[in-house]
Amino acid sequence: MIKSVYRFQNGQVSAFDENGNLMPQYEGKLSNVKDRILRAAPADAEFRMASWGLGNLERVTREQWAKE
């Protein structure tokens, strides 16, 4: 089950389960995995926007995360 989803500045996405393991089926370019993630992510999943090199992992709403 998806616990957290990170969207990076370059449009790449990574998702992790409750044990912190990467979920490769939800990894890739936002446009390729967004719908799959939004369908599978439970209501309590954390959505974050990440900035490389800045250490910024801002928590955002599901809607903010999905906006392209």
Residue with tokens 């800045």: 54
| pLDDT for res 63 | 95
Residue-range domain boundaries for the chain:
2-66
Specify the long-range contacts of residues 53-62, CB closer than 8 Å, at least 24 apart.
Answer: 57/6, 62/38
What stretches in the chain show pLDDT beneath 50? none
Query: Which amino acid would we find at residue 14?
Result: S
Contact indicator for 52, 65 with CB cutoff of 8 Å: no
| pLDDT for res 54 | 66
